[in-house]
Amino acid sequence: MRPDVDSLTAFCDDKLARLEAQARRRGVVDTPRLPGGRVRRHDRVLVDVSSNDALGLSFHPAVQQAARDAVSTFGTGAGGSRLVSGNHPLFAGLEEKLARHKGCAASLVVSSGYLANLGVIPALVGDGDVIVIDALAHACLMSGSRLSGARVDVVAHNDADAFAFAIDRAADDVAGRSGHVLVVTESVFSMDGDRAPLERLGAACRARGAWLLVDDAHGFLVSPDAPCTGDVATVITGTLSKATASVGGSISGPRSLIALLQSRARPFVFSTGLPPSAVAAASAAIDVAVAGGSTLMGAPLARARRLCAALDLPAPSSHIVPIVVGDERRALALMQGLIDDGFLAVAIRPPTVPAGTSRLRVSLSAAHSDDDVDALATALRRRLAVRP
Identity of residue 365: S
Contact 285, 241 (CB under 8 A): no
Query: How far apart are alpha carbons 99 and 270 in whole angstroms?
Result: 23
Query: How far apart are alpha carbons 288 and 343 in whole angstroms?
Result: 27
Query: How far apart are alpha carbons 15 and 13 in whole angstroms?
Result: 5
The total of other beta-carbon atoms located within 10 Å of residue 194's CB is 17
Percent of the chain with pLDDT over 90: 91
Q: What is the mean pLDDT of residues 335-347?
A: 96
pLDDT at 388 over 60: no
Q: What is the mean pLDDT of residues 167-186?
A: 95
Query: How far apart are alpha carbons 290 and 220 in whole angstroms?
Result: 11
95 contact partners, CB below 8 Å, separation of at least 6? 106, 107, 108, 109, 250
**Where residue 2 falls among pLDDT bands split at 50, 70, 90?**
low
CA 164 centroid distance within chain: 25
The total of other beta-carbon atoms located within 10 Å of residue 229's CB is 19
258-309 pLDDT, tens digit each: 999 999 999 999 999 999 999 999 999 999 999 999 999 999 999 999 999 9
110 contact partners, CB below 8 Å, separation of at least 6? 116, 119, 248, 249, 250, 251, 265, 267, 268, 271
Report helix, strand or coil for 366.
Answer: coil
The total of other beta-carbon atoms located within 10 Å of residue 260's CB is 16
Q: What is the mean pLDDT of residues 159-174?
A: 98
State residue 72's pLDDT score.
Answer: 98
Strands, E, within 73-178: which ranges?
106-110, 130-134, 151-155
Query: How far apart are alpha carbons 154 and 133 in whole angstroms?
Result: 5
pLDDT at 386 over 50: no
Q: What is the mean pLDDT of the chain?
A: 95
- DSSP letter assigned to residue 234: E
Please tell me which residue, 90 or 5, carries the higher pLDDT value.
Answer: 90
pLDDT at 387 over 60: no
Percent of the chain with pLDDT over 70: 97
Structural domains in the chain, CATH included, are 25-57+296-383 (3.90.1150.10), 78-274 (3.40.640.10)
Contact 218, 190 (CB under 8 A): yes
Name which of 95, 117, 118, 116 is nearest 106 in CA terms: 95
Please tell me which residue, 387 or 90, carries the higher pLDDT value.
Answer: 90
State residue 320's pLDDT score.
Answer: 97
Q: What is the pTM of this model?
A: 0.93
DSSP 310-336: HTTPPPPSSSEEEEEEESHHHHHHHHH
pLDDT at 3 over 70: no
Q: CA torsion angle for 312, 318, 321, 322 (degrees, to 10)?
A: -120
pLDDT at 257 over 80: yes
State residue 228's pLDDT score.
Answer: 65
CB under 8 A, 24+ apart: contacts of 28-35: 31/344, 33/58, 33/59, 35/59, 35/367
Report helix, strand or coil for 134.
Answer: strand
Report helix, strand or coil for 185.
Answer: strand
